Structure 1
Amino acid sequence: MTTLTEHSSAPGTGGTTNAAVARSLNKTYGTGDTAVRALTNVDVSFEAGTFTAIMGPSGSGKSTLMHCLAGLDTADSGRIWIGQTEITALKDAELTRLRRDSVGFVFQSFNLVPTLTAEQNITLPVALANGTVDDGWLDYITGTLGLTGRLKHRPHELSGGQQQRVAVARALLTRPHVVFGDEPTGNLDSKAGAEVLSLLRRSTRELGQSIIMVTHDPLAASYADRVVLMNDGALVGELSSPTPDTVTAALTKLGA
């Protein structure tokens, strides 16, 4: 099997410190009078082993940025690295393999297969790649996420919070360079949402996982180490050690 080519090192990494980097990223949807500039010369780095939230008003470009970083959408110009691999230089097959092996996803909808058990859902990406599950790592992450007694249950036998824990475990199983979360608690009640956010934060502190999450919720963002703020397709600021109050105040200034 062809190995991914490691292109020029991501700028500012010193070789190892960033999970994802974007440089001079531009993206426009549509043409002519209907054109919408979704990203404008975006330069941003996400340090490895940290939890970052991306926030901004509706239409600010936060979801577009995440989709481009994750290789789910293509930018019109600019460069993106996941770890030390420049994904904007990859062919389609290489990009597909990188998303499978080096990127984890946690979506608002849990995206679990209803006929499979929790354990089968967690290991599905490895099975589809004809890989071998690291049973020790599987036991560790399912234990950390409180799923040990639920692995034989199917999704309909689990609460919403438990289903999202399964999705988190699935995202962590391949030890990806980065996990992307798209409103991961949007379909959960406040208690279950807090549980999942606490687990995401623990995964950075205890498992060394890098997480980039798009959210509109100041409380959810307060679980992150850092908040990146966007407006009109551009980066407009960031917060370190955010709290619900500091995030709310920053969003109010942006008209969100």
Structure 2
Amino acid sequence: MMTITEQNKRTVAVQARGLRKTYGRGETEVAALRGVDLDFPAGRFTAIMGPSGSGKSTLMHCLAGLDSVTAGTIHLGETELTALNDKALTQLRRDRIGFVFQAFNLVPTLTAEANITLPVALAGGKVDAEWFASVTTTLGLTDRLKHKPHELSGGQQQRVAVARALLTRPDVIFGDEPTGNLDSRSGAEVLGMLRRSSREMGQSIIMVTHDPVAASYADRVVLMNDGVLVGELDHPTAETVLASLASLGA
């Protein structure tokens, strides 16, 4: 019989324990993370929020293996990221993590389809045609696949970036202000797609945002201030997020 501990491990996408991150030394030392303990459930959409300088972006970069930690451990499923060398970490990011950034990061000379399949091509893999069709249909891109980025709206370009992140079926997708360069309508489009990816495809999503409306699309909001966790909200609304941020002076 599976123990509660074993069951919990299987349902946690990313786990952080005792995370500390400092920059500089001596009088110039800055503590960006001060002992963070946090679990991110598999198949859920979590937003990380806090005032400027709260450590939210540093936390995401550490969780995604884009930055090293000063102390503590990070697990992606059963794999300890903080124990991997650079080569193994690069491979893990390629195979098991997806990224959606504020900048769309699309190759301007490639079609939407080629941009979506680029990570698979670079890895020398074969595209799963059925999954590709499912992802692009869900994201409403089937009639835009032959278009190049300059022929797409901002919202469509970001949906291409989301499709690219989903195509490899990563363990988790990290979003760094993914709607920061979009108007409100396009942003709502992309956030709705991320929420559907979580609810309909079982995708684990961790997003950093400063926008209470964007955070309201998540299942849970984690609040940070001065490098520590200060609370969380389940089933957030823009109003509850705004009130919580106001209490932090954000």
TM normalised by structure 1 equals 0.95
**What corresponds to 1:144 in structure 2?**
138
Percent identity, aligned pairs only, is 73
1:190 aligns with 2:184: yes
Question: What CA RMSD, in Å, does the superposition of the two structures yield over aligned residues?
Answer: 0.9
Provide the rounded CA distance (Å) in 2 between the counterparts of 1:82 and 1:104. Answer: 13
Provide the rounded CA distance (Å) in 1 between the counterparts of 2:204 and 2:132. Answer: 18
Q: Do the aligned partners of residues 146 and 82 (structure 1) sit closer, same or farther apart at CA in structure 2, a change above 3 Å counting? A: same
1:52 aligns with 2:52: no
* Aligned mate of 2:59, from 55, 60, 65: 65
* Aligned mate of 1:170, from 136, 147, 164: 164
Listed as ranges, the matches of 1:87-166 within 5 Å are 87-166=81-160
Q: Do the aligned partners of residues 117 and 104 (structure 1) sit closer, same or farther apart at CA in structure 2, a change above 3 Å counting? A: same
* Aligned mate of 2:10, from 13, 16, 35: 16
* Aligned mate of 1:223, from 199, 217, 229: 217
**What corresponds to 2:29 in structure 1?**
35
4+ long deviations beyond 4 Å: none
Provide the rounded CA distance (Å) in 2 between the counterparts of 1:150 and 1:26. Answer: 44
CA shift for structure 1 position 33: 1.2
Provide the rounded CA distance (Å) in 1 between the counterparts of 2:243 and 2:107. Answer: 40
**Structure 1: gaps (5+ residues):** 1-10
Aligned length: 246
Letter matched to residue 202 of structure 2: G
CA shift for structure 1 position 13: 5.6
Q: Deviations over 1:15-38 (max 9, x none)?
A: 410110100000001111111100
Provide the rounded CA distance (Å) in 1 between the counterparts of 2:7 and 2:245. Answer: 29
Provide the rounded CA distance (Å) in 1 between the counterparts of 2:206 and 2:132. Answer: 22
Query: SS at 2:87's partner residue?
Result: helix
Q: Deviations over 1:54-103 (max 9, x none)?
A: 00000000000000000000000100011211111111111101000100
Letter matched to residue 184 of structure 2: S
Q: Do the aligned partners of residues 212 and 12 (structure 1) sit closer, same or farther apart at CA in structure 2, a change above 3 Å counting? A: farther
